[in-house]
Amino acid sequence: MIIDLHCHTKFSDGELTPEEIVLRAANRNIDVLAITDHDTIDGLDSAHQAIEKYSLKLNLIDGVEISTWWHGFEIHILGLNVNRADTQFQQRLSQQLKTRENRAHRIAEKLEKFGFKDCLKEVQKIANGQCISRVHFAKYLLSLGEVNTIQKAFDKYLGRKQKAYVSPNWISIEEAVNWIKEAGGQAVLAHPSRYELNNKWIRRLVDEFSALGGDAIEVALPRQSKNETIQLAQYANSAGLKASAGSDFHRVSPYTELGRYAPMPENVDPVWSSWQEIQRFS
């Protein structure tokens, strides 16, 4: 059985539409897929419609990746199996999208000071009506030839503490966990080793997340060494948390693919161990 509990569509910073994502997942024989766009669940309806339209054998988990602010770091919390019809949850997420919009204005102001004229307008064009991500700014800088990779745009301008970085007013981890729980979902701490935190701080983050009622942490991710996986499994087990797995797929590239991530270790409790639907699959 192939499970992928983390990916993005055009509704945030991914490049495929929800329809293209579910078709690609089905083509790659994925059984269970969670779509987890940044701070929005608006792409989920069309993903479900596409599954029906093409009679795909794919179990779609309704998900989201919520941005939070913790001691000066942007920490991502995945919500899995959230109720997408929950109007309170929808309203709460639209508050995050406002924060995102506000941040986009502030980033654009900074970039305009560096001479990138009409920055916001151009980035809005790239985002094509969707909420603006730093990736859209990175693509803009790339299109100007200012940088030659997205990564360099983050290294020079958009990443933490770089020239055009702004501290966003994201909600706290506690709020994100509560929002997800109140929408009937499980809260999963995304990619714990990708925040520029040292081991002591990662442990602190994982323990705090567990104390706040978090359910799992991501353990099996792409481009990850065996040692990293072992370390993440230890964090999960010592904090009494389950383990999740996903590709964090954004776009087709030689390095990223739906369903592709490091093997899940045997000594963890998978977040899907209690999911009825999946038990029927396996």
In the complex, the residues that contact ligand AMP under the rule CB under 6 A are 13, 38, 67, 133-135, 150-151, 154, 159, 250
Close Cβ partners of 20 (under 8 Å, ≥ 6 residues apart): 9
Question: What is the Cα gyration radius of the chain?
Answer: 18
Nearer to ligand AMP, 38 or 92 (CB): 38
Q: How far is the CB of 12 from ligand AMP (least distance, A)?
A: 7
Quickly tell me which residue has 């963890």 as its tokens. Answer: 268
Nearer to ligand AMP, 102 or 274 (CB): 102
Strands of the sheet with 32-35, listed across from one edge: 3-4, 32-35, 59-70, 73-80, 186-189, 216-220, 242-245
Nearer to ligand AMP, 172 or 267 (CB): 172
Nearer to ligand AMP, 45 or 196 (CB): 196
Task: Please answer whether residues 171 and 79 qualify as being in contact, where contact means their C-beta atoms are separated by less than 8 angstroms.
Answer: no
Q: Which stretch binds Mn ion (CB under 5 A): 51-59, 62-70, 88-96, 98-106?
A: 62-70
Residue nearest to Mn ion (CB): 76
Task: Please answer whether residues 157 and 163 qualify as being in contact, where contact means their C-beta atoms are separated by less than 8 angstroms.
Answer: yes
Q: How far is the CB of 113 from ligand AMP (least distance, A)?
A: 20
Binding mask 212-251 for Mn ion (x = CB under 5 A): ------------------------------------x---
For position 13 contacting Mn ion by CB under 5 A, the verdict is: yes
For position 4 contacting Mn ion by CB under 5 A, the verdict is: no
Nearer to ligand AMP, 134 or 242 (CB): 134
How many residues are there in the chain? Answer: 282
Determine the Cα–Cα distance for residues 274 and 265; give it in Å rounded to an integer. 18
80: DSSP letter: E
Across the chain, which distance is largest between two alpha carbons, in Å?
Answer: 57
For position 76 contacting Mn ion by CB under 5 A, the verdict is: yes
Which of Mn ion, ligand AMP, none binds 151 (CB below 5-8 Å, type-dependent)?
A: ligand AMP
Determine the Cα–Cα distance for residues 280 and 56; give it in Å rounded to an integer. 17
Binding mask 160-199 for Mn ion (x = CB under 5 A): ------------------------------x---------
Determine the Cα–Cα distance for residues 114 and 191; give it in Å rounded to an integer. 32
Which of ligand AMP, Mn ion, none binds 154 (CB below 5-8 Å, type-dependent)?
A: ligand AMP
Determine the Cα–Cα distance for residues 24 and 260; give it in Å rounded to an integer. 13
Q: How far is the CB of 278 from ligand AMP (least distance, A)?
A: 26
Determine the Cα–Cα distance for residues 270 and 66; give it in Å rounded to an integer. 21
For position 136 contacting Mn ion by CB under 5 A, the verdict is: no
Nearer to ligand AMP, 26 or 38 (CB): 38
Angle subtended by helix axes 87-113 and 134-143, to nearest 10: 30
Q: How far is the CB of 240 from ligand AMP (least distance, A)?
A: 27
| Helix, strand, coil share of the chain (percent; to 5) | 45, 15, 40
Q: How far is the CB of 206 from ligand AMP (least distance, A)?
A: 20
Question: Tokens representing 263?
Answer: 């093997």
Site of interaction with Mn ion (CB under 5 A): 13, 65, 76, 190, 248
